[in-house]
């Protein structure tokens, strides 16, 4: 295990009705709020009215930014930056899923930056002095509620890229599992795949002596395998929604990669280009790509780790590493299908002609991945086998 700093300062307010605390939490970090949300789910569920009433009762002035789309666009980021500057806002309250929260982080970083916030995604600018954000999470998936990352789409460039800095970690996040009861089956499944994928990205590394990290990772995978199908059958099952919600945060707050050199993240890089091209839901893209990545990188050197997952997560009783590894990957593939996720790119409208463009974008800054470095031809090969 390597030396590490573990820094996860977000205050988690977990449980039913914890939203009632946001007034006092906001006032610890800001006075004037940008209230950011998506395309209508919070109005339908009544959450919007609740937030407005709490802000009013707490005498917190606010301006709204609505209509933030899944795969959040730079146009919303620019609009949010303008609203913050024009109205002297010093805090962002993001109420929604990963897209609303990510958009809010990019706005937070963009307010004090003289250029265009897309520069952060293109590695042309450093994130400095963002305004603080707090979140009310409504979808268990990304882990953004407890980390410093944001992923933004740029329609002008047909591109989607990530930015990140510890200063973008929310100061607080409300995790009320009942707020996810209204998430539909498709998004519940995609979210579960996303949580599992974050674990895969940090589990499949060559680090040795990280038994505790791997054991936590395996528990989070087992949590998703147990509770994903229950949440699909019983959308208002509190236990299932609560376990998935906490799994979402723990899977990508730095916990399971601490003490390791780094995560892999190649599959995420490949997926972001799928979402950039046809607005595919992130978790659905991962469901297609991850089993293909696993099969592509499986070899005599990497088999031991896939075999470990097979034995500890999928209960595969097989002594030969390669045989166990293949069975474990099969289980991942079958589980994603059982969740109702697509299993091939052609199923969601991709054609051979997209492969070269996407692969070039994935490798724009050089090879990707850690468990196995992938050059542009490797990336093309994974897309091809996923077609
Ligand atoms: O826009 P609204 O009306 O709110 O509807 C959303 C949206 O249509 C709906 N939804 C959210 N909560 C709901 C609900 N519907 C009913 N009831 C609720 N309680 O669900 C749809 C999808 O929402 P979205 O926020 O896009 O989903 P998710 O949370 O999966 O976020 C996906 C985005 O996060 C990025 C992805 O790339 C994608 O852009 N990621 C962010 C990461 C991070 N910051 O650390 C890591 C991830 O790997 C990921 O890349
Ligand atoms: Zn993800």
Atom number in ligand 1 closest to CA 70: 26
Residues 147 and 268 in one domain: no
* DSSP 8-state class, residue 301: T
Residue 161's pLDDT band, with cuts at 50, 70 and 90, is very high
| pLDDT in the model for residue 224 | 99
End-of-domain residue from the set 156, 179, 202: 179
What CATH number did the domain enclosing 163 receive? 3.40.50.1970
187 lines ligand 1 (CB under 6 A): yes
Residues 98 and 217 in one domain: no
End-of-domain residue from the set 179, 213, 233: 179
Atom number in ligand 1 closest to CA 198: 48
Share of the chain above pLDDT 70, in %: 100
Share of the chain above pLDDT 90, in %: 98
The H-assigned helical ranges of 254-317 are 266-278, 282-297, 303-314
Ligand nearest to the CA of 200: 2
Q: Are 286 and 268 a contacting pair, CB within 8 Å?
A: yes
206-218 pLDDT, tens per residue? 999 999 999 999 9
Q: How far is the CA of 98 from the centre of ligand 2 (A)?
A: 10
Q: Which residues contact 10 (CB under 8 A, 6 or more apart)?
A: 145, 146, 169, 170, 171, 172, 173, 253
144 lines ligand 1 (CB under 6 A): yes
35-74 pLDDT, tens per residue? 999 999 999 999 999 999 999 999 999 999 999 999 999 9
DSSP assignment of 27-83 equals: HTT-SSEEEEE-SSHHHHHTHHHHHHHHHHHTT--EEEE--PPSS-BHHHHHHHHHH
Residue 176's pLDDT band, with cuts at 50, 70 and 90, is very high
Please give the helix or strand (H or E) that residue 102 lies within, else none: helix 98-110
Atom number in ligand 1 closest to CA 179: 19
Ligand nearest to the CA of 191: 1
Q: Which domain holds residue 236?
A: 185-386
Q: Does 6 fall in a domain?
A: no
Residues 48 and 164 in one domain: yes
Residues 163 and 213 in one domain: no
Q: How far is the CA of 320 from the centre of ligand 1 (A)?
A: 40
- Residues paired with residue 63 on neighbouring β-strands, in sequence order: 34
91-110 pLDDT, tens per residue? 999 999 999 999 999 999 99
307-344 pLDDT, tens per residue? 999 999 999 999 999 999 999 999 999 999 999 999 99
Q: Does 88 fall in a domain?
A: yes
Rounded distance between C-alpha atoms, residue 179 and residue 176, angstroms = 6
237-280 pLDDT, tens per residue? 999 999 999 999 999 999 999 999 999 999 999 999 999 998 99
End-of-domain residue from the set 164, 179, 194: 179
What CATH number did the domain enclosing 350 receive? 1.20.1090.10
Burial class (CB in 10 A: 0-12, 13-18, 19+), 277: middle
What average pLDDT does the chain have? 97
Evaluate if pTM is beyond 0.85: yes
141 lines ligand 1 (CB under 6 A): yes
Residues 169 and 193 in one domain: no
């Amino acid at each position: 295990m390597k030396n590490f700093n573990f820094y996860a300062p977000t205050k988690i307010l977990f449980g039913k009705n914890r939203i009632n605390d946001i007034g006092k939490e906001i006032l610890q970090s800001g006075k004037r709020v940008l209230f950011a949300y998506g395309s209508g789910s919070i109005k339908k569920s009544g959450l919007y009215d609740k937030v407005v009433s709490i802000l009013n009762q707490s005498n917190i002035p606010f301006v709204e930014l609505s209509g933030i789309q899944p795969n959040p666009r730079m146009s919303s980021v620019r609009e949010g930056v303008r609203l913050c500057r024009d109205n002297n806002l010093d805090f962002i309250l993001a109420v929604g899923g990963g897209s609303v929260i990510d958009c809010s982080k990019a706005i937070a970083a963009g307010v004090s930056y003289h250029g265009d916030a897309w520069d952060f995604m293109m590695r042309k600018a450093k994130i400095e002095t963002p305004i603080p954000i707090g979140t009310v999470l409504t979808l268990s998936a990304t882990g953004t509620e407890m980390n410093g990352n944001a992923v933004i789409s740029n329609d002008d460039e047909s591109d989607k890229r990530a930015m990140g800095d510890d200063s973008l970690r929310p100061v607080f996040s409300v995790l009320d599992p009942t707020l996810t009861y209204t998430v539909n089956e498709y998004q519940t499944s995609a979210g579960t795949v996303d949580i599992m994928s974050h674990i895969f990205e940090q589990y499949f590394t060559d680090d040795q002596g990280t038994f505790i990290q791997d054991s936590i990772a395996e528990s989070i995978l087992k949590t998703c395998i147990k509770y994903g199908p229950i949440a699909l059958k019983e959308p208002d099952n509190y236990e299932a929604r609560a376990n998935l919600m906490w799994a979402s945060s723990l899977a990508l707050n730095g916990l399971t990669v601490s003490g390791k050199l780094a995560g892999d993240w190649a599959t995420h890089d490949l997926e972001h280009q799928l979402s950039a091209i046809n607005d595919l839901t992130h978790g659905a893209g991962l469901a297609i790509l991850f089993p293909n990545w696993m099969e592509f990188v499986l070899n005599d050197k990497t088999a031991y780790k896939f075999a470990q997952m097979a034995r500890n997560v999928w209960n595969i009783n097989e002594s030969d590493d390669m045989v166990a590894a293949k069975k474990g990957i099969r289980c991942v593939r079958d589980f994603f299908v059982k969740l109702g996720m697509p299993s091939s790119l052609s199923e969601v409208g991709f054609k051979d002609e997209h492969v070269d463009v996407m692969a070039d974008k994935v490798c724009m800054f050089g090879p990707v991945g850690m468990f196995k470095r992938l050059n542009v031809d490797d990336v093309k090969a994974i897309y091809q086998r996923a077609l």
